[in-house]
Amino acid sequence: MSRLGAILYFLFIAGGFCLNGQVSPDCSNAVPICSNTPVNGGTVGYGSDDFNGASESGCLRETMSGVLETNSAWYRFRTGASGQLGFNIGFDVSEDWDFALYKASDCNNLGEPVRCNFFDNADANSFMGVGVDPAGDEDTFLYEDWLQVEAGEDYFLLLNNFSNTNSGFSIQFSGDIFVANPYDALDCSIINNLLGPPVSACDIDTIVLDATILGAVTYEWFLDIGTGFSKIPAESGPTLAVAVSALYRVVVIMPTNENIISEAQVAYSPSPITYTLKDEIVCSDDSTFNLTKKDTEALGVQSPDDFMVTYHLSQTDALNGVMAIAKDENTFLGTHTIYVRTTSIENSNCYDASEQFNLEVIEKPTLNFSDELFLCANEISGTIGEIVPNSNYTYLWDTGEITSSLVVTQEGEYTLTATQTRNGVSCSNTKTITVVISELPVITNIDIDDLQSNNVVSVTLDLEENYEYQLDEGKTQLSNIFKNVLPGVHLVTVIDPKGCGSVTEEIVVVGFDKFFTPNGDNRNDVWFVSGMSVLQNPQVYIYDRYGKFIKQLNANSVGWDGTYNDSLLPASDYWFKLTYEDDNGQSKIAKYINNHFSLKR
């Protein structure tokens, strides 16, 4: 049970005047709240069914009791200004609470809630409400969006306990409406009482109750700390300086004997002390640093069940309790002053924002060099690492050198660590670079599949590496196969993508039949090479299998009919070579042509 819950439980068992005076199970008797009302209590059952047997209201659903309410407490308030409004309902982490907020001025016409939460407390949170969780939990399901209000709006708030235990609750209002209007954000005119509305104070405050009435004879003052009212001796004036939490009563003795009785609840909350915090120096990538670890320093011997700690970027934000930094925030660079606010969980008006500390975030060294270096086979060495060193860093290679760059001659992996040190804290960054020696390939073969209408060229290399291929001045490609190649002279280029150059071969693409049948049927009676017309001065030389010259053809020849000196040659395999002239008139032999064909009879 929390400390707050223990106190409320004691007051309830002891007679509970204070407790019962702050809790109503029925909407019609909803407890009024204004700006300085202390709101804490517990719930025991419900009175009349405020929903007239309805099975749901907004997110609320019918409970095991058969109605929407199980153990309920009703409050009402009226806004005294416009702006952003929220509230935090604090309770024991073992308990499950629900709430619904209605914008209405009549319990008989509540309508649908404008904010509602019916989630269970499976994550063992200690707060629910509207706005943001004061404990910094950004993933909680127990918070609804901020409410934008205008002055003069009436609201009813229902709290419902869905647990088997009831350690009590507290309500703290929040939002920027309280920054602009700290004393009248919630209108106190809804409370008609001589002594005024209930007072929520800090234990360092001086509270004076004023019952002054013109013509009064005398005043009698009483207090009740949970065991019934007892008279305060020697107090007969119109005002009373109070020092303890209690329910106070004044009896104003009038000359007409029409005495006036008024009561007011005063609740003191402990004021926290923020202890001195030491400065922090961290690295920008130190994901283990979390502002939560500073909470212990700030609280000292104080319990986190009673006080919470928040961190801010300005003294003004800390004093107003706004713009708290997320406690796992690690995006700062450089030196920042962090302002600390320690706040009472019972009463957010009780706080201490007197302490601060410096947070210096050292930027992790930046390493901008490439993580790969390719040395061409004809290069002796290369340089890796940072060519221009940073004077704020120290450098260390895994090879032992302490320079920012390194001259290498061998393949392998090299690792550089750069370190920046300030005020005794070192931040390092490490990067590994891979050195690869790249060799140019040798074209071992170019296969030309002369299908005439769809010529295919395939390139074979002596190395199994990833190279780029180019035909003439076309686009480069990763495939070693070129399709739909036109007849003629072409350049095949293999490029090293690592920047170590290229190799080029000139090829000739022509078409010819793999066999012919010179039998006089006018089908395949002659053998010829198609596509020669695109070459300059092409010549075809035909040989038998023993190398004997048989026939010479040019671009104007009709082909070879299978004879030699008008004599029929036998069926056999024959070979040929193709020559042509380049742009300089130099005769060249076409390479990579499959120059084998058959004569069949």
Residue 497: the pLDDT is 86
Name the domain boundary from 190, 222, 242.
190
275 is a domain residue: no
Answer whether 35's CB lies under 8 Å from 171's CB. Answer: no
Query: Do residues 183 and 263 both lie within one domain?
Result: no
Instruction: From 138, 116, 143, 113, select the one nearest 127 (Cα to Cα).
Output: 143
For residue 125, the domain's CATH number is 2.60.120.380
Q: What is the pLDDT of residues 386-428, one digit of tens each?
A: 999 999 999 999 999 999 999 998 889 999 999 998 888 888 9
Query: Residue 316: helix, strand or coil by DSSP?
Result: helix
**Number of neighbouring beta carbons within 10 Å of residue 481:** 12
Query: Most confidently modeled of 91-105, 317-331, 445-459?
Result: 91-105
Work out how many domains the chain is built from and give that number.
Answer: 6
- Is residue 15 situated within a structural domain? yes
Percent of the chain, pLDDT > 90?
Answer: 55
Is residue 557 packed enough to be buried (19+ CB in 10 Å), middle (13-18) or exposed (0-12)?
A: middle
**Boundary of a domain, candidates 305, 327, 362:** 362
At residue 123's C-alpha, the angle toward residues 117 and 126, to 5°, is 70
Residue 246 lies in a domain: yes
Q: What residues make up the domain containing 285? A: 280-362
Q: Three-state DSSP class for 426?
A: strand
Residue whose tokens read 């629900």 = 98
Q: What is the pLDDT of residue 532?
A: 86
Mean pLDDT within 162-185: 87
The mean pLDDT value for 357-379 works out to 87
pLDDT band at 330 (very low <50, low <70, confident <90, very high): low
pLDDT category of residue 554 using cuts at 50, 70 and 90: very high
Instruction: Give the whole-angstrom CA distance, residue 332 versus residue 289.
Output: 12
In this predicted model, what pLDDT tens digit does every residue of 468-507 receive, in sequence order? 999 999 999 999 999 988 888 999 999 988 888 899 999 9
Max mean pLDDT range (2-6, 64-68, 154-158, 329-333): 154-158
Q: Taking 80 as the threshold, does the pLDDT of residue 149 lie above it?
A: yes
* Residue 367 included in any domain: no
Is 130 a residue whose pLDDT tops 90? yes
Give the pLDDT band of residue 22 (cuts 50, 70, 90): low
pLDDT at 13 over 60: no
- Long-range contacts (CB closer than 8 Å, 24 or more residues apart) made by 354-358: 354/274, 355/274, 355/275, 355/276, 355/277, 355/298, 356/277, 356/315, 357/277, 357/278, 357/279, 357/280, 357/294, 358/279, 358/280
Length of the chain: 601
| CATH code for position 226 | 2.60.40.10
Give the end of a domain, one of 416, 438, 460: 438
| Residue 454 near residue 430, CB atoms below 8 Å | no
Q: Is residue 274 part of a domain?
A: no
Condensed to tens digits (0 to 9), the pLDDT of residues 109-128 reads 999 999 999 999 989 999 99
pLDDT of residue 10: 27
Residue 68 has pLDDT above 60, yes or no: yes
Give the pLDDT confidence score for residue 329 in this predicted structure.
62
Q: Are residues 42 and 113 in the same domain?
A: yes
Do both 145 and 155 map to the same domain? Answer: yes
Same domain assignment for residues 50 and 133? yes
Residue 589, in any domain of the structure: yes
**CATH number for the domain including 421?**
2.60.40
Residue 41 sits in the same domain as residue 78: yes
